[in-house]
């Protein structure tokens, strides 16, 4: 009897394939908002540019309430001084830094004062959901070394624009637009009135769940390329290429970013013979241990530092 039963055939509607293709089409009216123009290399910088230091560093942060906190930082170690010879000259130095932080969902105030007389201040204020104002300032005892800058960042539906103004008649503007769900293109212009210099630049960023590729070129002679491959949720590999077609300087580097359960390890090696490693280990809740190492084979110089962060 089973052989007498005709086989059942499944008929696929002709409109099903058309519907699937329509779903795969890009909705250009609903593209994601890109990251700011100044942060297009942030994944590569996170792996290739850790904040290395030399000597001893101790940071302590005490929260007074949910929004306000005080910080203390002590650093001791040698500092390089400019020299015309190939030999690196270092002198021992020490600094103490006092800071105050106010962090609110719409307002962030950060201030730092050092024993050498420097005063740093940062402000970030979200005026609306789309408009943010940022301000940075540094005051020093040295003449002509103090500076300040204001940034106005506007976040659109699928684009970001920014306008900058700073002392020394510095003006700048940038625009970054999502072209597809993965590709963003943009450009920037600037004018430094004090130095009578101007420039224009273009950039592109392609991003997926597994990789980020960025390219940037400017009329000042800079060409910057970066690529980050996300091997897994904990491991990333990065590389960058920097070239200045005016000075003919070329630098390339490769690095890694490895996030473990209790620590984070980053490192790189570049074409100048400089090798860097940076380790951050969480010893306990609110207690981190830091190791920093850098060896410059070309200059025959090395830097080693360790630190402790509390709070």
Question: Residue holding tokens 């506007």?
Answer: 154
Instruction: Determine the pLDDT at residue 13.
Output: 53
CA-wise closest residue to 180 among 1, 27, 4: 27
Distance CA 256, CA 309 (A): 23
- Give the residue among 279, 222, 264, 282 at the shortest CA–CA distance from 247: 222
Residue 8 pLDDT exceeds 60? no
Question: What Å distances lie between residue 247 and 192, 220, 242, CA to CA?
Answer: 20, 10, 12
**Confidence bin at 2 (pLDDT 50/70/90):** very low
Split at pLDDT 50, 70, 90, the class of 232 is very high
Residue predicted with more confidence, 225 or 18: 225
pLDDT at 14 over 70: no
Is the pLDDT at 16 greater than 50, yes or no? no
- Is the pLDDT at 64 greater than 50? The verdict is yes
Position 162 scores a pLDDT of 96
Q: What whole-number distance in Å separates Cα of residue 147 and Cα of residue 241?
A: 30
23, pLDDT greater than 70 = no
Confidence band, pLDDT 50/70/90 cuts, at residue 26 = confident
Mean pLDDT of 48-56: 92
**pLDDT-wise least confident of 17-21, 63-67, 281-285:** 17-21
Q: Where are the alpha helices (DSSP H) in the chain?
A: 14-24, 42-48
Q: Residue 282 pLDDT > 50, yes or no?
A: yes
Of 244, 209, 214, 245, give the one whose Cα is nearest residue 227. 214
Task: Read off the pLDDT of residues 233-271 as tens digits, 9 standing for 90 and up.
Answer: 999 999 999 999 999 999 999 999 999 989 999 999 999
Residue 25 has pLDDT above 80, yes or no: no
205-228 residue pLDDT tens:
999 999 999 999 999 999 999 999
CB 257 within 8 A of CB 268: no
Percent over 90 (pLDDT), the chain: 75
Residue keyed to tokens 């509390």: 310
The Cβ of residue 157 has, within 10 Å, a number of other Cβ atoms equal to 11
Average pLDDT over residues 40-49: 93
2 backbone dihedrals φ, ψ, rounded to 5°: -65, -30
pLDDT of residue 86: 66
- Summarised one tens digit per residue, pLDDT across range 106-163 is 999 999 999 988 999 999 999 999 999 999 999 998 888 899 999 999 999 999 999 9
Helix, strand, or coil (residue 156): coil
Q: Virtual CA dihedral for 181, 190, 42, 214, nearest 10 degrees?
A: 50
- Measured in residues, the chain has a length of 311
Q: How far is CA 10 from CA 1, 13, 86, in A?
A: 22, 10, 79
pLDDT per position as a tens digit, 160-208: 999 999 988 899 999 999 999 999 999 999 999 888 889 999 999 999 9
């Amino acid at each position: 009897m089973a052989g007498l039963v005709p086989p059942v055939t499944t008929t696929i509607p002709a409109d099903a394939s058309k519907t699937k293709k329509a779903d795969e089409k890009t909705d250009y009216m609903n593209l994601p908002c890109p990251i700011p123009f100044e942060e297009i290399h942030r994944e590569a910088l996170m792996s290739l540019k850790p904040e290395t230091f030399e000597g001893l560093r101790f940071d302590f942060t005490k929260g007074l309430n949910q929004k306000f906190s005080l910080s203390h930082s002590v650093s001791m170690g040698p500092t390089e001084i400019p020299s015309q010879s190939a030999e690196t000259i270092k002198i021992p130095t020490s600094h103490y830094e006092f800071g105050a932080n106010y962090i609110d969902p719409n307002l962030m105030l950060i201030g730092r004062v050092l024993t050498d007389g420097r005063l740093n201040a940062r402000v970030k204020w979200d005026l609306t959901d789309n408009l943010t104002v940022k301000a940075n300032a540094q005051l020093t005892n040295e003449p002509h070394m103090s500076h300040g800058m204001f940034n106005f960042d506007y976040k659109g539906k699928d684009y970001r624009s920014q306008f900058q103004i700073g002392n020394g008649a510095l003006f700048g503007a940038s625009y970054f637009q999502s072209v597809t769900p993965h590709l963003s293109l943009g450009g920037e212009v600037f004018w430094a009135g004090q130095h009578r210099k101007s420039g224009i630049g273009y950039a592109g960023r392609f991003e997926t769940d597994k990789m980020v590729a960025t390219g940037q070129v400017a009329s000042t002679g800079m060409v910057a390329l970066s690529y980050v491959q996300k091997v897994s949720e904990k491991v990333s590999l990065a590389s960058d290429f920097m070239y200045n077609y005016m000075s003919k300087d070329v630098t390339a580097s490769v690095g890694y970013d490895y996030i473990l359960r209790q620590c984070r390890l980053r490192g790189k090696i570049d074409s100048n013979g400089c090798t860097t490693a940076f380790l951050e280990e969480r010893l306990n809740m609110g207690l981190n241990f830091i190791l920093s190492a850098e060896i410059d084979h070309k200059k025959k110089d090395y830097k080693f530092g360790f630190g402790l962060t509390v709070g």
